[in-house]
Amino acid sequence: MKRYKLILFFNIFILLTASAQKIENLVELKQQSENRLFHRLDKAPRTPAFASEGYWVWGSSIVKGDDGKYHMFVSRFPKKLPFHPGWMVASEIVHAVSDIPQGPYRFSDIALPARGAQYWDGRSTHNPRILKQNGKYYLIYMGSTHPFAEPTYAQLTLDSPWCTVARANKRIGLAVADSPYGPWKRLDEPILKTQPGTFYSFLTSNPSPIIQEDGSVLMIFKGRHYTNNYEHSAMSLGIAYAPAIEGPYHVLNNNQPIFEVDGQGEAEDPFLWKDTEGYHILFKDHVAKFTGERGGGVMAHSENGIQWTVDKAPKAYSRTIEWEDGKVEMQGQLERPFIFFENGKPTYIFFATMDGPGGFENASHSWNMVIPIKDKE
């Protein structure tokens, strides 16, 4: 028995040592990386940028208001439901405020609550992107609905009717307000619907828009298509254009995706921006094709927003985080990247994150976190 306990202890020690070494190697990789963003990521504060008691919290988007304060729009949904797929059936977009861009952000109000199953976005609003133009505020987001009563924790599974219907009803929509405090006027129809015979015939989701110099909008989004009458494909990313923020939107590239499983590779959670060098995106390396890390961040570039080249040093961030208290830890999940720019410079990157060893089912809480971006390498 003593010999068995000694062997067990030794094996646990080796496992923990190997895990620690893996994390240390990731930190070393960051220091040696040629990726310009990865090298500029500073240590992260432990205090969440936003958290909400009793709720799962996910991706956020931030804008500086006319009042000089910083306004975050962020998804949350009750912890009485499992994280995945709770967000599909019961998410709401809430508004939080801070005097400084890095937060922490204080809850202010519910921007886009549930409004009834008869509306296309009546049961869930998620994945917000906040934009400001000509004195107005615009929320582009994913919405969905379903006709069922509220599920219990045990009832809500990926194969349940709630998830099946809500997933198929995911669409991208728009809400407009004169103030970040609302009230928000939602459009009666989605701005980007599905289209038969395309890579987005099943759903549209995960919008990441930018307003260009001429007022037009370019938006990366996620799509899935039907593979037969009842199954859906893996995810793809596409690019849509509108001459003005309220539309109409149409998909570019001859209705073909810019990233897909059989093309460049599977990508998720895109964040799009534009500068003097062209268009750039960050996205989650869903299956570790580009960075060697499942859930790591990839950077890619484009001259026109349609043809994309993955960065020669693609790894822009890791699930392994350096905290201000000196600890180095791997997050269970690290998704929905959002870079906040002030005076044209990237100053902070926000993520949806959670604890646990990985996998949505292993988490006990989630929050929105922030990492400062150093001015120089």
Q: Does residue 123 belong to any structural domain of this protein? A: yes
Query: Predicted confidence band at 262 (pLDDT cuts at 50, 70, 90)?
Result: confident
CA neighbor of 146 nearest in space, from 165, 126, 171, 124: 165
3-state helix, strand, coil in the chain (%, to 5): 15, 40, 45
- Mean pLDDT score of the chain: 92
CA distances from 194 to 161, 200, 203, 204 (A): 20, 6, 6, 6
Query: Predicted confidence band at 23 (pLDDT cuts at 50, 70, 90)?
Result: low
Q: Does residue 356 belong to any structural domain of this protein? A: yes
Q: Does residue 119 belong to any structural domain of this protein? A: yes
Q: Indicate whether 199 pLDDT > 60.
A: yes
Q: What pLDDT sits at residue 86?
A: 97
DSSP string covering 91-143? -EEEEEEESSTT-PPEEEEEEE----TTSTTSSEEEEEEEEEETTEEEEEEEE
Number of domains observed in the structure of the chain: 1
Under 8 Å CB-to-CB from 79, ≥6 apart: which residues?
54, 55, 56
Q: Indicate whether 9 pLDDT > 90.
A: no
Q: What pLDDT sits at residue 14?
A: 33
Distance between CA 119 and CA 138 in Å, rounded? 19
Q: What percent of the chain has pLDDT over 70?
A: 92
Q: Does residue 98 belong to any structural domain of this protein? A: yes
Report pLDDT digits (tens) over 200-259: 999 999 999 999 999 999 999 999 999 988 899 999 999 999 999 999 999 999 999 999
Q: Does residue 314 belong to any structural domain of this protein? A: yes
Is residue 225 classed exposed, middle or buried when 0-12, 13-18 and 19+ CB atoms within 10 A define those classes?
buried
Top-confidence residue, 145 or 376: 145
For residue 256 the two structure tokens come to 């073909």
Q: What pLDDT sits at residue 8?
A: 41
C-beta of residue 298 within 8 angstroms of C-beta of residue 37: no
Report pLDDT digits (tens) over 266-299: 889 999 999 999 999 999 998 899 998 999 999 9
Q: Does residue 12 belong to any structural domain of this protein? A: no
- CATH code (residue 78): 2.115.10.20
Query: Predicted confidence band at 5 (pLDDT cuts at 50, 70, 90)?
Result: very low
What strands, in cross-sheet order, belong to the sheet with 55-64? 55-64, 70-78, 92-98, 106-112
Q: Indicate whether 157 pLDDT > 80.
A: yes
Range of the domain at 354: 25-372
Q: Does residue 295 belong to any structural domain of this protein? A: yes
Comparing 1-5, 53-57, 241-245, which segment has the lowest mean pLDDT?
Answer: 1-5
Q: Does residue 6 belong to any structural domain of this protein? A: no
